Structure 1
Amino acid sequence: MDNKEAEHLLEKYLAHNCTPEELLLIKKAYNKLVPYDISEIPEQRYDEMRTNMWNKLGQSPKLDIKTYRLWPKIAVSATLLLTTGAWLHLFVLRKEVVDKKSVSVYSNDVSAGTNKAILTLANGKKISLSDAKAGIVIKTSELSYNDGTVIESIDSKESRSSMITTPRGGQYRIQLPDGTQVALNSASTLKFPASFSGQVIRRVELVGEGYFNVTKDKKHPFIVKSGNQEVKVLGTQFNISCYPDESSMKTTLVEGSVQIKGLSGHVGMKMLSPGQQAEMIRDNISITKVDTESVLAWKNGDFIFNEDIRTIMRQISRWYDVEIFYQGNISEKEYIGTFSRSKNLIDILKALELTKGVHFKVEGRRITVMP
């Protein structure tokens, strides 16, 4: 394998386009690295390991790199492992070993988010939904958990909307009266009617992030209002991210087709095809091809990062229910990697810290990011 072939192979991996044979080739090359804690490896041996990795891939080491890349999945012990559990690889291994005299301070750990939400019925009654359940089902006359346990009787003739809210550190799933299924990410709210019966349009409203698997009904379009846009579908699967603290709203289509319309009157209608994402910034909509696996990672129990540390920390803040502060000149370099959302917070922070790009101070639920 020559230099260009090796570089092309690595790019295919990052784009999730490798064949099984190519994945095996990459893993075999990395498997030559011994499973030591990086901080315990002598610098000379560390250089040998790095050189060995690149020799296996047919390319010499690159030390001048502007992007730190973490290969999935992250090992909680920060070791280089290749097992079915968590494992860590650096796409570009930096010449410096991890400094044992790190400025990071971890006074405590923070557990990952769980299944939790508050349901507010049309009559104003609030119900704390069980964290032992994964979701709820709205039926004609009753509300139940997805295992059939009845929670409350409801009035399907109620004209006012009900609302389900996931707090920071929470997630939940809901099946609407028409059978449409919605997965809500942390810090999100979905407003919906007690019944779609008699309504020409099935209309709901979202703040935050939600994945929709809409029941097909050609006679009754399904519309999601989020911020200053509306997404109209007949039956399809898509993801909407519209957090107030993000600079844009993103709608990603997985299956079927959707129509996006700006509510300001300055944006025309846009149609999406599967694998496309519409990003709305103020009154402008741009459409790009995206990796839907990365977009839906949160729903499947993972973080897949490919962004700067501030964007990453906003996601971490919502899932771990922590406050983020910054100290000093924080790099805008991007981090690429996969993390399980079930891991405790410090496992992820320590893995990010291995790049030598950032350090962290954890004090209760206050996280300070430092260069």
Structure 2
Amino acid sequence: MKSLIDKFLNNTITVSELDELQKWLQKPKHQVEFETYLRDLSDTNTALQDIDFELAYAAVWKSIQKTQNPVKRLYNGWIKYAAIVFLFLGLGYFYQQGFFNEKLEPIIDETHITLQLDNGTIKVINEDGSTKVIDARGEVIGKQEGSQLSYDDNSNTETLAYNTLTVPYGKRFDVKLSDGTLVHLNAGTSLKYPVKFIKGLDRQVFLNGEAYFDVVKDTNHPFIVNADEINVRVLGTQFNMTSYPEDAHTNTVLVEGSVSIYKKDETYNKETTTVLQPGYIASLNKDNDLISINPADIAMHTAWMKGRLILNEVAFKNILKKLERQYNVTFINNYKALENRYFTAKFDIEDIHQVMTSFSNSASFSFTFNNNEIIINP
């Protein structure tokens, strides 16, 4: 198979040999061997060392979109880059009916942070690494360093193009938008946003989950967050917003400045919109579609950014949802009487075992672990 891989890289492989290679690659252990072999080659092969994996991927993707003949496209000068794409993606793409099908189906572990580009391509983000964000034209529009993804405002595009960043349970991540606005994303959250804000248009993003926004002020271009059934409109301020699909409320907590809140199907009207003041929370009840405003405990609503959990008279059923997101676990609660019991607690560096022990001592229940599943019994 090493001989076939060499032919693959040198563009001397035959169609029958290519078919043999793709069948061999269907086994996960062979994919690992393939990746290891390519990495070994890159240590001694100058040509492989000089290739920019990101640009290679962009070029291959663009080529795939332009041709209807998948075998021909590999023979039109892209065959070496196609091998590098395997390496770059960590062998994360498979073909539904074989290596040369036209439709690519990404198979990505749901525990990974992912970035969906405007063309539908999905990139896996390693929060310990670094990478570039490249658009369909091969232009670098942003970069990732560790736990933050930053976008440039130097892009030449004048049309809206969206990326979607998704953070799984158990992780947090930051994104700095092209206008300098910093968004902290909590576990189980996705944010859809333009890679560049266009002059003359509102700065609108779409949230599913929880995020803390530190918005750069621009009086000519309001910043609007759409979450479920409401819009939050600001010019420049800091606020926390929670809109998980399974929650009964969509909450906006204002830290500083002011925000305007109005229904998604309404046009913004300064005279009729709900204005929130610092230190208050606006809650949209998803059942009756009503918005209520009350004083807020800022520390409780923003503790998640430092990995902390502060609970102040919170129902146990809602606590379990928070724990699932923060620790990437699943609960089976066989003690239903606990669901509507309220708890007050603070956790900082405790792991999930310590957290559950604390609650079990307080509420007198037992629990067992089954991998990432936690079973609660009376």
TM-score (norm 1): 0.63
Give aligned-pair identity as a percent.
Answer: 29
1:338 to 346, 350, 370: 346
Which residue in the other structure is 2:275 paired with?
271
Instruction: Write the distance in 2 (CA, Å) between the matches of 1:358 and 1:239.
Output: 34
For 1:310 and 1:136, the matched residues in 2 are separated by 41
Residue 290 of structure 1 corresponds to 296
Partner SS state of residue 362, structure 2: coil
Q: State the distance in 2 between where 1:362 and 1:302 align.
A: 22
Matched residue SS, 1:330: helix
Aligned to 1:144: 143
Find the counterpart in structure 1 of residue 363 from structure 2: 356
Match of residue 235 from structure 2: 234
Q: Which amino acid aligns with 1:200?
A: L
* Match for residue 129 of structure 1 among 125, 133, 143: 125
Aligned-residue offset at 1:362: 1.4
AA in 2 matched with 1:322: V
Find the counterpart in structure 2 of residue 118 from structure 1. 114
- Relative contact order, CA 8 A, sep 6+: which one is greater? 1
Give the aligned partner of residue 163 of structure 2: 162
TM-superposed CA distance for 1:257, in Å, is 0.2
Q: Which stretch of the first structure deviates more once superposed, 205-214 or 308-317?
A: 308-317
Greater percentage in helix: 2
Partner of 2:197: 196
Distance 2:166 2:134 in 1: 15
1:313 partner amino acid: L
Q: 1:262 Cα deviation (Å)?
A: 1.2
1:281 aligns with 2:307: no
The Cα shift of 1:224 comes to 0.3
1:217 has 2:218 as partner: yes
User: Structure 1 pair 302/136, CA: closer, same or farther in 2 (3 Å)?
Assistant: farther
Shift of 1:146: 4.1
Distance between the aligned counterparts of 1:253 and 1:348, measured in 2?
Answer: 29
- CA shift, 1:170, in A, is 1.8
Show the counterpart of 1:180: 181
TM-superposed deviation, 1:150: 9.7
CA distance in structure 1 between the partners assigned to 2:132 and 2:322 by the alignment = 25
For the aligned residue pairs, the C-alpha RMSD in angstroms reads 3.1
2:203–2:221 contact (8 Å) kept in structure 1: yes
Stretches of structure 1 that go unaligned for 5 or more consecutive residues are 1-114
Q: Secondary structure at the match of 1:159?
A: coil
How far off is 1:235 after superposition? 0.1
Say if 1:201 and 1:150 are closer, same or farther in 2 by CA, change over 3 A: closer
Question: Following superposition of structure 1 onto structure 2, how do residues 65-76 of structure 1 map, counting pairs within 5 Å?
Answer: none
How many angstroms apart in 2 are the aligned matches of 1:128 and 1:202?
Answer: 26
Give how far 1:197 is off.
Answer: 3.0
Deviates more, 1:158-167 or 1:218-227: 158-167
CA displacement at 1:312 relative to structure 2: 0.6
C-alpha distance in structure 2 between counterparts of 1:355 and 1:122, whole Å:
49
CA distance in structure 2 between the partners assigned to 1:163 and 1:322 by the alignment: 24
| C-alpha distance after superposition, 1:97-146 (max 9, x if no partner) | xxxxxxxxxxxxxxxxxx96211111222221122169999999431124
Paired with 1:151 and 1:201, the residues of 2 have a C-alpha distance of 20
CA contact (8 A) 1:137 1:175 kept: no
Task: Return the offset for 1:198.
Answer: 2.1
Bigger Rg, which one: 2
Contact 2:168 2:187 in 1 (8 A): yes
The range that moved more, 141-150 or 315-324, is 141-150
- TM-score (norm. length: structure 2): 0.62
Gap runs ≥5 in structure 2: 1-110
What is the distance in 2 between the residues matched to 1:136 and 1:205?
A: 23
1:301 aligned onto 2:307: yes
Q: CA deviation at 1:369?
A: 2.2
- Corresponding pairs, count: 256
